[in-house]
Chains A and B, each alone.
Chain A
Amino acid sequence: MNAIPVTIVSGFLGSGKTTLLNRILNSDLASRKGLKIAVMVNDFGELNIDSQLVVSAEQNMINLENGCICCTVESDLIEQLRKLLQLREGRPDVILIETSGVSEPSKVVNTLRYPEFKNLLTIDAVISLLDAEQFTQLEGTMKRLAMDQLSVADIIVLNKTDLVTDKQLQSLKEQWLFPKASVYETQYANVPLPLLMGVSSAEQPPEFTAPEHACSESCSPQNHTHGHTHSHSQQFSSMSWQSEQPLHLQQLKQILTNLPSNIYRVKGIVNLVEVPEQRCLVHKVGSRLSIEKQDNWQVPKNSQLVLIANSTLDKEVITMQLEEALAVNNYEQLDKRD
């Protein structure tokens, strides 16, 4: 059984978390792609669940017609996760956890990394939403929470940017963001799902670019919160890269860490010089990069990476960079030095 990817969404009250969750729940991920999404929230009341879609509801779990599950995290996240993993039928393909406005998302992240969940769950992405308008002067507990949310985030979604001036936006960034932060600026929590969730892009053919959507008068905010996939910010592009040559770990790390900021995701399997026997899984979301050992190679040792960006990718430049990490090139460099 593959580990279930988990996306954590944090942010203060009013930052757009619920809008984003509703957008995901109502997207075509469930209806067209048949993905079973489990959404863990603090309070059902926040979600706009169409009662006609509810198949069954008990205590703190609601089953929807499209296979999605909504549950509340009462006092214990661990037990709620155990429950989800133990479901006889309808084990979710992906889990979304909304952390309450007052809890520290770092604790949720820590919990998901417990040994008992190691092979069952994998952290896909940690998203923190920031309300550009409200997120200015915070003090005390709120300030601490904000720091926790930002420091644990893979991608920081700067929401409601239309409500502030460029100057305000600039000062907010200076005060709260850090050099390597991966930031996505938007309104109405309108973030392309492929950036937030690995599964939503998994079946996209490489080179796929969502059609541009011409925003018209009819695109009211309400429309956008429904999250139809045709909305104008859903544009993204991707590229794939592969090589039969093994890669050097340190170089690869460095290149992936310093990719252009419009690349929000990198996923793939690589063949490393340092780990000749095993496949290594590369997972980069926003500012977080992990390279982990997997099972032994069975097939020809091919490195394959898929990169996803929210705008056009300069494929040539990126290909050139990645090739610098190839072992053969290093030898060439060494040769040249001799």
Chain B
Amino acid sequence: MSLADTSFPTGKNYRSSHTGHGVGKADTVFENGHIYTVNSDSEWAEAVAVKDGFFVAVGSREDMIPYIDEHTQIVDLKGRFCMPGLYDMHTHPDLTLAPGYAGYLDVGLEDPTPEQVKEAILSYAKSNLDREWIFGQYFVHFQFKRDGIEANRSWLDSFISDRPVAIHDRSWGCILVNSKALELAGIDANTPDPRNGYIERDSITGEPTGILVDGAYALIHTVMPPTPAHALQRAYQEAIHYQTSRGVVGTKYVHVCENRLDALKVIDDAGEMTLRVEAAISWQDDIFPVRRRWELLAGERHYYRSDRLSANAIKFHFDGTQGSYSAYLSTPWPGESDWRGGLNLTPEHITDMVVDMDRRGIRVIAHCVGDGASDMFLDAIAVARKRNGPNGVRHQCAHATVLLDENLPRFAELNVVAEFSPVGWLPEPYARGREVLGKERFDRMYNFKGVIDNGGLAVMGTDWPVSNINCWIGFEAMMTRKNPWFDNDETFHGQPISVAEAIRVMTINGAHCMSIEETAGSIEVGKSAEMIVLDRNLFKINLQGNVHNTHVDLTIMSGKVVWDRNGELVDTPQQAPLKPENVQNFYERMEG
């Protein structure tokens, strides 16, 4: 083995004005495709040439000839339809997957008896001496009643009192903790109940019994060690694999903390981040604690920055949801005299925070379900533009479930992106649940068309696990407003958008939403070379039932093939690093 092989780590060839440019002509030419460029000056092409990760030529086969030399690899697209890669602008792989990978206690029995729960806790405690907390699932109230045992802290204390224990009830309605856990969390007779749950107490003394219900879990979660790094890394890695296999080249992981950013950086440093990620620092502490929030916002976030990773965003929950009737509406909820929903921050707090973040160059991603919440958000951005100048950060109105017609032009005026999550665009029971917003609001729901027709930018986010991480389902539904899996004519409220409009939503609008539209999001000379090769031409199919199950044959990221469904480039320089068997399919059933 030569010295060079062992002494130097793998080099990175960064590009700047005068360095990092590879020798010779194009590295790769992709030819013989039906390439939809999303560049209005030249909508279609049949070939592209890529050098150092950027498009150097887009046009006909003949146009490529000057870019080909002896080192250029030629990839035959075999007449397939190609387009820029997709952008999923709101999703949560960590929240969906990481808890399952954390190595928490799992009693592992269908209906464990108290004795079996006890044994499992003791055995876990013994084999996990390095972990202070014993946390996991589950116990069954019924079995405690059968044995005449009260499920409370005294029972846990009777066999384990030196280490904190927290175990979920099977229906996840409550968590049982021992006295040590209560002590570490500082929960006693004087602790107030949280808003969305309660501490079960002795009715005479007020002392906690050890049962914490719903929102009261958070009191324990804040003192527990964070989700382990390996679980977060695995969750993000699996999501990245999946998204890459479905043609996603840009995504936002909304709600992160310092630990999540660390996990993402590990993947990025290993060169395994096959898409661009904007991670939004969480403003909430009820999901997981963000201990270094202000350090991150002050500048620590820049430590994570690379071509693939950015944390220049913050995620707020301005209002609640339709499900809990807490979305903040412009007028009272149907049947209510004065209940407009809940706003989690005062309007003054929202305004000051938006102005402050805008000044720092941090994108505000604001969860706004109700038309009252988004109105408030747009008002706050108007103040920010006035105080900080008109060219500040492009902010993001997340979910935008229902918007006021008066606000549709403001998205363009104030340079705000309207992000829609597909939970409600198609007629199915869950979406029908959105109809609680009231008849008057139905046709204003998920108003892609209204935003687009008024010159604004609309994007989509899968919001996994609220809906499926496969963004092709939402891609189809925004064009049909019909259910992809049922062959019927039932249409959800509101207007569908055209194929061309939907492709822009899924591509260049996403790039705008990540503020990389100058360098990505369409197939144009000078832009980063992202392209996907599909098994069908979206302009030539009957949309309903035929888009959600689209197969992405190739995903090209910065000129490199990162996904090759059929292994067509195996044993070539463009062999994809990701093997199909390494991609976990989270929802096989829904893709057929």
Taking beta carbons and an 8 Å cutoff, which residues of A are in contact with B?
58-59, 61, 74-76, 78-79, 82-83, 86, 88, 104, 106-107, 110, 113-116, 143-144, 147-148, 150-152, 178-181, 249, 272, 274-275, 280, 290-293
Contact = CB atoms under 8 A, between A and B. Distances in A.
Contacts of B337: 86, 88
A148 B141 CA distance: 7
Contacts of B173: 104, 106-107, 110
Nearest to B334: A59
A74 B430 CA distance: 12
B212 to A, nearest CB: 11
B204 A75 contact: no
Given A75-B323, A293-B204, A178 B145 contact: yes
Interface in B473-506: none
A249 B204 CA distance: 9
B339 A82 contact: yes
26 contacts: A61-B335, A75-B322, A76-B323, A76-B324, A76-B436, A79-B324, A86-B339, A106-B173, A110-B214, A113-B200, A114-B193, A114-B198, A114-B214, A115-B193, A116-B195, A147-B140, A147-B142, A148-B141, A152-B141, A178-B145, A178-B146, A180-B148, A272-B204, A291-B204, A292-B203, A293-B204
Nearest to A139: B110
B325 A151 contact: no
B111 interface: yes
Contacts of B200: 113
B142 A110 contact: no
- Residue from the set A79, A152, A181, A280 with the largest chain B CB neighbour count within 10 Å: A79
Given A144-B170, A280-B204, A181 B335 contact: no
Q: Is the interface of A mostly helix, strand, loop or mixed?
A: mixed
A208 B562 CA distance: 82
Interface string B201-215: 001100000000110
A181 B147 CA distance: 11
A272 B204 CA distance: 10
B100 interface: no
Contacts of A178: 142, 145-148
A250 B359 CA distance: 63
A314 to B, nearest CB: 25
Contacts of B174: 110
A79 B321 CA distance: 12
A59 B198 contact: no
Interface residues of B, number: 38
Nearest to A115: B193
Contacts of B171: 104, 106-107, 144, 148
Nearest to A283: B203
A236 to B, nearest CB: 26
Contacts of A148: 141-142, 171
A312 B336 CA distance: 49
B195 A180 contact: no
**What 4 A-B pairs are tightest by C-beta distance, nearest first?**
A147-B142, A79-B325, A151-B142, A151-B141
B433 interface: yes
A100 to B, nearest CB: 14
B229 to A, nearest CB: 33
B213 A78 contact: no
Interface in B154-206: 169-171, 173-174, 193-198, 200, 203-204
Interface of B: 111, 140-148, 169-171, 173-174, 193-198, 200, 203-204, 213-214, 322-325, 333-337, 339, 433, 436
Q: Is the interface of B mostly helix, strand, loop or mixed?
A: loop
Contacts of B147: 178
Given A106-B169, A106-B171, 17 more contacts: A59-B335, A75-B322, A75-B323, A75-B433, A78-B324, A110-B173, A110-B213, A114-B197, A147-B111, A148-B142, A151-B142, A151-B144, A178-B146, A274-B204, A275-B204, A290-B203, A293-B203
Contacts of B196: 114
B181 to A, nearest CB: 19
B203 A113 contact: no
B335 A78 contact: no
Contacts of B193: 114-115
A274 B202 CA distance: 14
A152 B592 CA distance: 41
B411 to A, nearest CB: 29
- Residue from the set A78, A143, A148, A292 with the largest chain B CB neighbour count within 10 Å: A148
Contacts of B169: 106
Given A151-B145, A152-B141, A292-B203, A58 B335 contact: yes
B336 A150 contact: no
B336 A83 contact: yes
Contact of B335 (A83, A104, A113, A293): A83
- Residue from the set A78, A83, A106 with the largest chain B CB neighbour count within 10 Å: A106
